[in-house]
Structures are given as structure tokens and as C-alpha cells.
Amino acid sequence: MSHNALTALAKSLPASVPFVGPETQERALGRAFSARLGANESQFGPSPRSIEAMAQAAQEVWQYGDPENHDLKQALAAHHNIDPGHITLGEGIDGLLLTLTRLTVASGDAILTSHGAYPTFNYHAAGNGGTLHMVPYLDDHEDPRGLAEQARLLGAKLVYFANPDNPMGSWHSADTVQELIDNLPKSSLLVLDEAYIELAPNGTAPDLRPETDNVIRLRTFSKAYGMAGARVGYAIGPKSLICAFDKLRNHFGLSRISQAGALAALKDQAYVDGIKQKVAKSRETLAQIAQDNGLIALPSATNFVTIDCGRDGDFARSVLEQMIARALFIRMPFVAPMNRCIRISCGDEAAMDLVAKALPEALKAARSA
């Protein structure tokens, strides 16, 4: 396509991606990773019922998926005890963020997030012409009071807030989140990313009040449900906003296979309860590995653990590179002072054994360098 066909906005944007995938790194290394522990996928996988449902749906994959996602939407409404008119579905939270920013962000709109928070939101907001503003983290947590104050000063159109948080794994109580909702100007829409909410302690999520005009809540089947590759996310919000998604969303974005798998996964809450236990055990193991190496694991309400390497970002980056050189895919926060840390996803015993073996070697190599 001719460069002249691009809009002025598109021409101004850098050719970048929010994350470099493990497959890209494997191609550069010329070998496969021994463990994928960087993208917060669930190594424990989806429910066997979900796998069975997807295998059955694969026989019908010659058909388009239901563009209304009817059965899955009805099941989610029953699960949350809300009207299905408050729910829309999309290709993971990333797909929902793309549609949301297309619907709400105009050129020059003030968009507010935390400095170092999930970069895909920034990617989509900037891609639609928004002007990004950042509030720094406070003690390795997003700062809800700082966000509310800046939202009032800027007249922010969107305010992004993740609870629990990525990349630090930290979280705020439901009361604190509700205080943020109450303190935002009514003209600001809170984009409440709850990707990890099923893995968080009780009392983390405020009550669902889907008719609240200035809140949209985003959830996913990628984490606790173990279906990252199926790309199924959903949003809960006021009917006027949820209905507007039909103006722009990809109506055939969720395949028959993805819809069938998510529906079966939702119905198997006993399996999700088991995953919570496995994740909790893995978090404890990672904390112990950090302690054994003289490092500090930050408390986590997610399926990953952020480990403070005790120095600056250059040292943490060296540790990360040494872990990658030992065929372990991990990541780290992008922004100081959080970039003093590395981030390791939870996994099974075999994966944790690989971490326990590689981390002291990586630290030794990084310190020598």
C-alpha cells in the first residue's frame, strides 16, 4: 500500500508492538524456550471440559461463530447475576480496548493511566489520537487517589486502572476501588481492568453495579481459565455504552471454537477453584526461590510473581537476559523504579525447578558482568 494512503495520525505513529512475543525471541535465539513464564499464560491449561468442547466445535469450524455470542453472553449474565444487556464480548481484553478507544477517543482527548502500567491500553489510546498522561506508581501500587486528582485537573476522557495490577501483581481493596469510582468526575470513564480478578483475595472486586455510567469493567478467559490462545474477553458496563460496541466491534471475532471452550470453562468452576490453589502454591514456591537467592518477592494477587532484584533497571535487565539465555522466557517492568524487578509467571513443579536452577546462575552472571 502506498505510504500516501495512511492517515496523518497513522504516519505519526511508531512502527511498534506493545510486547515482543516468545516466538519472536525463540526465532532470534534459534531454539525453543524450556518454559514460557513471561506472558502470564496459565501453564496449567484449561478445563478438560473446555478442551472437549473445543474439539467438538472444531468439527463445525466450517461455520462462522454466532455473531451475537448469545449462549456465552447468557451464561456470563447468569454467572454474575446481571442483565445480558450489560455484557459484550471481544477478542480478549486487548480486542475490547481497541473497540473501546475507537468508540470514545478523539484526537487530543486527555487519556490517563499509570506510568508503567499495561502498555496495550496506551497503544490503542494513542492509535486513536488520544494524548496520554501518566501518574506514577506509589509503593509499587497504582495510585487511585493520584489518578482521581489528575482526572479532575485534566478532564480525562478515559482513566485506565488495573486491579490486580500488571506488572507488579499488587492490588487494592474493593473499598479503595469504589472510592476511586466515586471520586472520578462523571465525565471520565473508568476502564477497570480485572484480568486477574479470579486469582485475587476475596474483597478485591467491588460489587457489580453495571449501570454505573462512568465505569466499564474488563475480564478475560486468558488467565484463571487458561484460554489465552482462544482470545475471549468480556466487558461489563452500562447498557448505553455496551450497545455502542455493536457499532464497531468485529461481530465474527470470536470463533465457534472459542465460544464453545469459554462456555464449557465457565460452567466448570470447580476446575477454576483448583487452578487458584495451584497458582497460590506456585506463588509460594517463587517467593521461596527469591528468598533463597537473597531477593524479595513482592506480594501478588495474580498468576505471576514480581521479584525485586535489589539494584537498578540495568541489573534487572541483565538478570532477565541471563534467564533468557538459559531458555526461560520471563519479562520485567518497563519503567523505573519498578524496572528493578523481574516478573515470572506461575507454573507447575517442573517449571519451578527450572527457575530454581537458572536464577542463581543468572544472578551470578549478571553480577560478574
Q: Is residue 94 pLDDT above 90, yes or no?
A: yes
Residue 18: predicted pLDDT: 84
Which comes out higher in pLDDT, residue 29 or 194? Answer: 194
Residue spans of alpha helices (H) in the chain: 8-12, 22-29, 48-58, 70-80, 92-104, 119-127, 144-154, 174-183, 239-244, 256-267, 269-292, 313-325, 349-368
Give dist(CA 290, CA 305) in Å, integer: 10
Which of 180, 125, 181, 182 shows the shortest CA–CA distance to 157?
Answer: 125
Of the chain, the percentage scoring pLDDT greater than 90 comes to 96
Residue 297: predicted pLDDT: 98
Mean pLDDT of 99-110: 97
Identity of the amino acid at 218: L
Dihedral sign for Cα 96, 102, 105, 111, please: positive
**C-beta separation of 118 from 168 below 8 A:** no
pLDDT 10s digits, 321-356: 999 999 999 999 999 999 999 999 999 999 999 999
Give dist(CA 239, CA 254) in Å, integer: 21
Q: Is residue 1 pLDDT above 60, yes or no?
A: no
Residue 3: pLDDT band (50, 70, 90) is low
**C-beta separation of 39 from 22 below 8 A:** yes
Mean pLDDT of 125-145: 97
Give the 3-state secondary structure of residue 348.
coil
pLDDT 10s digits, 203-249: 999 999 999 999 999 999 999 999 999 999 999 999 999 999 999 99
pLDDT 10s digits, 277-328: 999 999 999 999 999 999 999 999 999 999 999 999 999 999 999 999 999 9
Domains for the chain: give ranges and CATH numbers.
16-45+270-368 (3.90.1150.10), 48-267 (3.40.640.10)
Residue 365: predicted pLDDT: 98
